[in-house]
């Protein structure tokens, strides 16, 4: 019985990834037919004289780094609260502003000042996401309404922090964070995605955060009766999201070499929510699969890269993305899944009956 439940859980977990894997497969096949060289990888030398890998595939994996990192944190918040944080882009702009101001306040950009800037940015970001978490967990405000406050004013706060300017940052360490480390041709943000993913895996592996989060998301009252503190779990999910937003914001600032409160992590909150949905996670909370959200982030970025490769005007990219994403989300909806499952069961039962008649 235990073995059957275990196998059933694995099957259910894998079935969650069917839609995103199919979407990714369709995009891959489409690009292979459209341009057989779409996924080719080359080697070139950048402006800094470093050898780097080039190609659409590298561009997709690299460009989706910030989105993948934020999607991880968004998954946890969604699972715990049954809602989403729409302020992550604005809070990421605040992170970038704090990071840059710390660097500019020191004598030079060194490993120590970068570490100090990251720590300051991380703490400030966790303060803001903790504020969102308090509104949601303590005052019982709907997540989207609670986070609308910082969504509206966060970029203005970032603008105020930088003194109404667009500060520039440059140097070997900044270039190494935003682009590549000399001697390593793979973009550094890819390694940072792996690092954040590993840290979250270890957090879930050596603690009960994952179990408690899903429990609170499924039934908050029952969780409380079982000794789980829903307020604490929701706050933790927002704080974890804060760390993810801080990392993404700093990566974005280092990529650009500056902080522009209007462009840093622009529109990423909507893409992060879509990545969670495309990954097969329930936006109403409860069970989640982090790998699905990460996969959803790369699907969104591959779709964006494909549209640009087809010379679609930037003003039209969002419209085309919306159409494709609606199809993916609807295909993965509980209604469609139930109909497909019912059809599959009927077909399977019909085949079994036919087989039994043949034996008789």
Each residue of 323-342: pLDDT tens digit? 887 887 787 777 877 787 77
pTM exceeds cut of 0.95: no
At 230-277, the pLDDT tens digits run 999 999 999 999 999 999 999 999 998 888 888 899 889 999 999 998
d(CA 254, CA 100): 9
d(CA 109, CA 261): 21
Q: Which helix (H) or strand (E) holds 44?
A: strand 42-45
At 111-164, the pLDDT tens digits run 899 999 999 999 999 999 999 999 999 999 999 999 999 999 999 999 999 887
The pLDDT score that the predictor gives to residue 193 is 97
Burial of 59 (0-12, 13-18, 19+ CB in 10 A): middle
Q: Which residue's entry shows tokens 């699972």?
A: 79
- Place 356 in a pLDDT band, splitting at 50, 70 and 90: low
Average predicted confidence (pLDDT) for the chain? 88
At 60-82, the pLDDT tens digits run 999 999 999 999 999 999 999 99
Q: What is the DSSP letter of 54?
A: E
At 297-317, the pLDDT tens digits run 999 999 999 999 898 888 888
The pLDDT score that the predictor gives to residue 15 is 66
Mean of pLDDT values over 201-209: 95
User: Between 16 and 310, whose confidence is greater?
Assistant: 310
The pLDDT score that the predictor gives to residue 46 is 77
d(CA 279, CA 284): 14
- Place 216 in a pLDDT band, splitting at 50, 70 and 90: very high
Task: Catalogue all structural domains in the chain, each as residue range(s) with its CATH number.
Answer: 54-311 (1.10.3470)
Residue closest to 197 by CA, chosen among 33, 64, 87: 64
CA 350 remoteness from chain centre:
42
HSE-up of residue 198 (Cα within 13 Å, Cβ side): 6
- Place 6 in a pLDDT band, splitting at 50, 70 and 90: very low
d(CA 75, CA 285): 9
First to last CA, the chain: 31
The pLDDT score that the predictor gives to residue 5 is 41
């Amino acid at each position: 019985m235990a073995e059957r439940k275990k196998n059933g859980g694995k099957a259910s977990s894998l079935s969650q990834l069917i839609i995103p894997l199919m979407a990714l497969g369709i995009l891959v096949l489409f690009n292979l037919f459209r341009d057989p060289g779409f996924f080719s990888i080359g080697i070139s030398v950048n402006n800094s004289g470093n050898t780097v890998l080039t190609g659409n595939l590298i561009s997709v994996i690299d460009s989706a780094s910030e989105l993948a990192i934020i999607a991880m944190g968004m998954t946890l918040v969604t699972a715990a609260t049954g809602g989403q944080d729409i302020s992550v882009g604005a809070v990421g702009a605040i992170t970038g502003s704090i990071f840059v101001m710390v660097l500019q306040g020191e004598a030079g950009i060194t490993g120590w000042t970068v570490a100090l800037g990251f720590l300051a940015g991380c703490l400030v970001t966790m303060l803001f996401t903790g504020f969102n978490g308090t509104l949601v967990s303590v005052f019982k405000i709907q997540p989207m309404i609670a986070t609308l406050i910082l969504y509206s004013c966060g970029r203005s706060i970032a603008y105020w922090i930088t003194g109404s300017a667009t500060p520039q940052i440059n140097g070997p360490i900044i270039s190494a964070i935003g682009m590549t480390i000399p001697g390593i041709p793979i973009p550094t943000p890819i390694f940072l995605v792996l690092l954040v993913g590993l840290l979250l895996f270890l957090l879930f592996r050596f603690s009960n955060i994952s179990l408690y989060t899903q429990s609170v998301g499924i039934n908050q009252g029952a969780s409380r009766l079982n000794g789980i503190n829903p307020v604490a779990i929701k706050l933790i999910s927002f704080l974890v999201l804060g760390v993810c937003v801080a990392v993404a914001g700093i990566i974005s600032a280092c990529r650009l070499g500056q902080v522009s409160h209007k462009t840093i992590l622009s529109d990423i909150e909507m893409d992060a929510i879509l990545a969670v949905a495309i990954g097969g996670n329930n936006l109403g909370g409860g069970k989640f699969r982090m790998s699905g959200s990460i996969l959803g982030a790369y699907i969104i970025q591959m779709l964006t890269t494909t549209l640009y490769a087809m010379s679609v005007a930037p003003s039209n990219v969002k419209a085309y993305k919306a159409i494709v994403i609606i199809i993916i989300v609807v295909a993965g909806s509980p209604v469609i899944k139930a109909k497909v499952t019912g059809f599959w069961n009927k077909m399977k039962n019909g085949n079994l009956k036919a087989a039994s008649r043949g034996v008789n």
